[in-house]
Structure 1
Amino acid sequence: MELLQLQYFIAVARLEHMTEAAQSLHVTQSSLSKTIQRLEEDLGVALFDRTGRKLRLNEYGSRFLQRAERALFELQQGKQEIRDLSGQEPDTLELAVTTASTLPGILREFRKKLPAIHFHVQMLSMQEMVTLLRRGEVDFCLASPPPVEGDDIGCQIVYNDPIFVAVPAGHRLANRKCLSLIELKDEWFVGVKKGYGTRDLVDSVCQSAGFTPHYVYEGDEPARLIALVEAEIGLAFIPGTAKSPQDKILLIPIEDDGLVRQIALLWHSGRYIPQAGLVFREVVVDYFGAISPTGDIII
């Protein structure tokens, strides 16, 4: 059994589509198909159910996928540990975020310490983040998470971020010092899609208050919400850290309890963390400690 066979199998198993897997691997479909066939011959069983041109991972394939992913994960960790011990810094840190408003400040502080490191950043839902963490494809996540099942995900809460309602300057509520949620039951809102921590938290707290927010816009980019509020498309629930002095909106405090998101740093607890990763984690903790009203880090 060859390492290449495992890599090809994992790609096909995740996509359940030979053409898409071949494109992602930058190989021909015929080469990929032959490699999978040789792997199945080595194992003595078919790993996929084939109906015409459709592929479906069967029970054998599902069980073997878990082992193959674990094997590649351990090999990747070994490679990273050797690079670290030999003094070779990683070229790139892989990050995923649901909360991007604080990222520029964090990266600025990190680059003061390690300016040669590049970043690859993805904006993902919480479920997508956990999947990539468990596969070893992401180094750290900065998120506003619900509790994550399993002890393989490390989680450090670094900041409690109050959520406000954002209104344009000319709105009828713009002169209010604070609001209760029930006063907003007839308003239209702009927000991110379900699956993002802040959206799920807001919906839950609003439902407890007796209503479900009416969304006129739902998207994947939290940073766009402020511009939509300025354009008077709808109101938005905005965390305090997302507000910029240049924004032409007003953030009004909410009287109701519960509208505070916890910002957390997540990582795979079984993954080897290189020195650059340890520096990044330290920078994140120090950054939020500096902006915390009490100066304390939340553990």
Structure 2
Amino acid sequence: MVHERSSGPRLSPSSYEEDITLELAPRLAYFAGVARHEHVTRAAQDMGVPQSTLSRAMVRLEADLGVTLFARKGRTVSLTPAGRTFLASVERALAEVERAAESVRADTDPRSGKVAFGFLHTMGSETVPGLIRAFRADHPRIRFTLVQNYGEAMLERLRAGELDLCLTSPVPDAPDLVARRLDEQRLRLVVPDDHRLAGRKRVRLAEAADESFVTLEPGYGLRRITDDLCAEAGFAPRVAFEGEEAETLRGLVAAGLGVALLPPPAVARPGVVELTVTAPRAAREIGVAWLDGHPETPPVAEFKRFLLSRRGRLLPQ
């Protein structure tokens, strides 16, 4: 059997598309300029490039496409039907590139740029609105993209470049992240208002060892803290219900379905009593994290400085 030897590497369809895009892209603006002026010399003067460079670029563009784009008469040119079809798509593509450039420039503007900021659900009703209000007193035009999620999910979005900064707990310790502790938030044992402990103001966590707990799902920072505190108190919590949001857990507690370790609410919830835990010390650290070595825009740098200046007074008193 005789095998025909290829004269060169054969490109897959996707490789060919990438190759032709790299070939065409640098010449699209030149093509649009020549088409607009219908004159090579005037187009070259307008774009500030040598006429010879522009002429060669158009010849090469037609060769790469295998299509005649211009009918030539001296230095005057006019578009062929194929050229007009190609121009319509080129103008849309160039306009989209211009819009993208304007968008990224606007997002990095020191006075009116954008910050992508992530935070825990439990900080969304009071802490974060207060922080942004205080920050915008001096930076009224800076815009925010706000993302609420649990800690691990936010850190993944931080690593993916979707967030600039995030408030999270526990404060992460990872080689690719920089994290700074900002504040501490006491946790309370939340019980139904008709519970045997409801008449108390303080409680040792061990006194709840026989209770059913309602907790956040595994993977949430507060769930890990709850498990660790219960272990320190000498027991493993018997989990009856798992949820994704602290106020939902308070509702489950009010319905008599268990007890929970939670940060204080923005507004008191009827049907529950919130007890100070005296032992072990029940608290969670709140910190801000960002990607190590990741370039930051002026708005992000300014908001980071603001957050770090709030050490010890991040949370509402």
Q: TM-score category by the smaller chain? A: 0.5 to 0.7
Contact 1:110/1:280 (8 A) holds in 2: yes
Q: Does 1:175 align with 2:199?
A: yes
Structure 2 alignment gaps of length 5 or more: 1-11, 20-99
Residues 197 and 188 of structure 1, relative CA distance in 2, 3 Å threshold: same
Offset at 1:36?
Answer: 7.3
Q: Which residue of 1 aligns with 2:233?
A: 209
Q: Which residue of 1 aligns with 2:151?
A: 126
Q: Which residue of 2 aligns with 1:27?
A: none
Q: How does 1:108-257 map to 2 (within 5 A)?
A: 108-145=133-170, 147-150=172-175, 152-239=176-263, 242-248=264-270, 249-257=272-280
Q: Distance in 2 between matches of 1:197 and 1:218?
A: 13
Offset at 1:83?
Answer: 6.2
Moved over 6 A (4+): 79-83
Q: Which amino acid aligns with 2:116?
A: E
Q: Which residue of 2 aligns with 1:263?
A: 286
Residues 141 and 229 of structure 1, relative CA distance in 2, 3 Å threshold: same
Q: Which residue of 2 aligns with 1:105?
A: 130
Q: Distance in 2 between matches of 1:98 and 1:283?
A: 18
Residues 38 and 227 of structure 1, relative CA distance in 2, 3 Å threshold: same
Q: Percent of pairs identical after alignment?
A: 29
Query: Which of residues 101, 117, 132 in structure 2 aligns to 1:95?
Result: 117
Q: Distance in 2 between matches of 1:87 and 1:121?
A: 19
Q: How does 1:26-45 map to 2 (within 5 A)?
A: 35=14
Q: Secondary structure at the match of 1:250?
A: strand
Offset at 1:93?
Answer: 2.2
Greater shift, 117-126 or 195-204, is seen at 117-126
Q: Which amino acid aligns with 1:97?
A: F
Q: How does 1:37-76 map to 2 (within 5 A)?
A: none
Offset at 1:276?
Answer: 1.9
Contact 2:182/2:286 (8 A) holds in 1: yes
Offset at 1:96?
Answer: 2.1
Q: Which amino acid aligns with 1:254?
A: V
Q: Distance in 2 between matches of 1:197 and 1:278?
A: 26
Q: Distance in 1 between matches of 2:241 and 2:267?
A: 24
Offset at 1:197?
Answer: 1.3
Q: Which amino acid aligns with 2:286?
A: I
Contact 1:106/1:283 (8 A) holds in 2: no
Q: How does 1:76-91 map to 2 (within 5 A)?
A: 84=108, 87=110, 89-90=112-113
TM-score normalised to the size of structure 1?
0.63
Residues 36 and 196 of structure 1, relative CA distance in 2, 3 Å threshold: farther
Residues 222 and 246 of structure 1, relative CA distance in 2, 3 Å threshold: closer
Alignment coverage as a number of residue pairs: 222
Residues 127 and 246 of structure 1, relative CA distance in 2, 3 Å threshold: closer
Q: Distance in 2 between matches of 1:172 and 1:37?
A: 73
Q: Distance in 2 between matches of 1:164 and 1:138?
A: 30
Residues 252 and 93 of structure 1, relative CA distance in 2, 3 Å threshold: same
Residues 265 and 250 of structure 1, relative CA distance in 2, 3 Å threshold: same
